[in-house]
Every structure is written in C-alpha cells, then in structure tokens.
C-alpha cells in the first residue's frame, strides 16, 4: 500500500531528517520531493504562564515524567533497571508514568515484582491532571528503540517542550528528540542501555536547579521556534504553494505539447 500511494505523491512531508533519509533511500521510478516539518502543539494551548519559567522546588524529590503511549517503538528496560539501582542511592528521584499501551501491563508487573517504589504508575489521566503533573515534574523522559529511527517521531516531545520541561532522552542519535536537544540545549541525550550514564545524569540534574532552569528556558524557546503551530503551519503553506506551482507548470507544458 505504501508503494502504491507513494508512486502517486507530489511531495512527502517527514517528521525528522532520519525519516526523510529513510524515504529518500527507497527505490522508486521517479524521485519525489521531500521536506522535514516536525509535529507541533498549539501555542494557544500552552500560554507562557503555565510553563516552568519560575524555579522549582526540589523537595521532596526530583521527578522524571513519562507520559503517553507505551507502545512497541519505545524502550523501558534501561529506565526500569536504573530505577532499581536508584532505590539504593541517596538522592530521592521519583519516576512518574502516565498513559498506557501494549507494554504497560508488563511494566506494571515489573514494578510490582521488583518493588520499584520509586515509580508511580498512574495509567491514563485526564488532560487537566496531566498538565498538573507536568507542572510539578522536573524533566520529561522520552525513549525510542534504535530500530525505530526514521519510522517514529515521539510526539510527547512537543508538549514537554511547551511546558518548559527539560527532556531526558534514551535512544539513537539523529532522531527528532536528539536533534531538538542538540539544537536547543534543552536536555540530555543518552544511548539506550547506557545505565551508568543515565543514572549519572539523573543524579546531576537532581542536584542542579540552575541547570534545570536553563534547560527549561531553552525548552520553551525550542517550542516557540520550531514545535508550535505558529511556526510550522507556514512551512506547510510553502510546501503546498510549491506543489501547486509545479503542477500548474506541468499542466501548461502538457497543453503546449
């Protein structure tokens, strides 16, 4: 079905460069123009007053939030192993998980079996409750399996940036999340399986309110510049205008022929 639809496209919009590279590498009889336009959240739904502009209290604990789908494309093994080791540490680091998905039952069972009391698994919550949890959290956790690079672009990134949440990312280089962190200096990008580095960065963040505040400010800047409707819908206008112009040129050429 992808091949059938793909042969009829005038333009392909990709969510990140890894996805664009994957699309461009596919063999096809004619080359299809591609563009990268990230997903976004509405700027109007995230007024600046609701973000982390003010410094947060680190008492009683530093909170890392995972929100959204726990599907096939996300990895949680490093997070769960780190949680187990953090139980023996001196820093009170709490992990909050909201949402659900195909991996949710297995994660809940691991939390129960291994007595991971530092993970608060809330499941699905209301929109208002999620915003409240985000406003009380210090960082957002986002993961991506290595083999999903170019196939998925985690959409939880955009709301996290909108809320001024620094991002702690576990996944491959070159993803949309890694690119946002690299470009805007709004969090930490760590490779899956690197438990030592993951724990080290969490412990540093839990003791560094100024660093959290800097990342938070940069996260909001990233949202307003590259991940909101006000910045990205105009990019779609440009793609549509360009496609319309090339179609008109082709039609004129066919009539002349």
Q: Block means of pLDDT (10 residues each) for the chain, length 257 residues?
A: 81 94 85 92 84 52 95 96 90 93 98 97 96 95 97 95 97 97 98 97 95 97 97 93 67 50
pLDDT for the residue 31: 83
pLDDT for the residue 56: 56
Q: Which helix (H) or strand (E) holds 200?
A: helix 195-206
The C-alpha torsion from 86 through 91 and 92 to 96, rounded to 10°, is: -50
Backbone angles phi, psi at 230, to 5 degrees: -65, -30
DSSP, res 55:
P
pLDDT for the residue 257: 54
pLDDT for the residue 253: 47
* Fold for the domain defined by 43-226: Rossmann fold (3.40.50)
Distance CA(64)–CA(94), nearest Å, equals 6
**Residue ranges of the chain assigned to CATH 3.40.50.2000:** 43-226
pLDDT for the residue 193: 94
Q: Which residues pair with 116 in a beta bridge?
A: none
pLDDT for the residue 54: 47
Beta carbons of 226 and 16 less than 8 angstroms apart: no
């Amino acid at each position: 079905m992808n091949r059938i639809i793909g042969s009829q496209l005038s333009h392909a919009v990709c969510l990140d460069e890894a996805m664009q590279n994957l699309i461009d590498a596919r063999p096809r009889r004619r080359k299809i123009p591609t563009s990268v336009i990230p997903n976004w959240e509405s700027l109007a739904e995230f007024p600046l007053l609701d973000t982390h502009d003010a410094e947060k209290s680190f008492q009683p604990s530093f909170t890392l939030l995972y929100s959204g789908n726990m599907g096939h494309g996300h990895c949680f093994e490093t997070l769960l192993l780190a949680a187990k080791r953090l139980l023996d540490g001196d820093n009170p680091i709490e992990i909050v998980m909201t949402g659900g998905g195909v991996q949710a039952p297995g994660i809940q069972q691991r939390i129960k079996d291994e007595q991971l009391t530092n993970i608060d698994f809330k499941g699905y919550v209301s929109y208002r409750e999620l915003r409240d949890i985000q406003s009380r959290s210090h960082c957002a956790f986002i993961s991506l399996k290595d083999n999903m690079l170019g196939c998925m672009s985690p959409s939880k990134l955009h709301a996290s940036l909108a809320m001024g949440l620094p991002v702690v990312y576990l996944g491959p280089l070159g993803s949309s999340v890694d690119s946002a962190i690299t470009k805007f200096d709004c969090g930490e990008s760590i490779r899956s399986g690197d438990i030592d580095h993951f724990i080290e960065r969490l412990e540093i963040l839990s003791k560094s309110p100024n660093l959290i505040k800097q990342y938070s400010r940069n996260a909001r800047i990233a949202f307003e510049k590259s991940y909101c409707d006000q910045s990205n819908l105009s990019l779609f206008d440009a793609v549509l205008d360009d496609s319309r112009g090339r179609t008109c040129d082709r039609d004129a050429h066919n009539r002349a022929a």
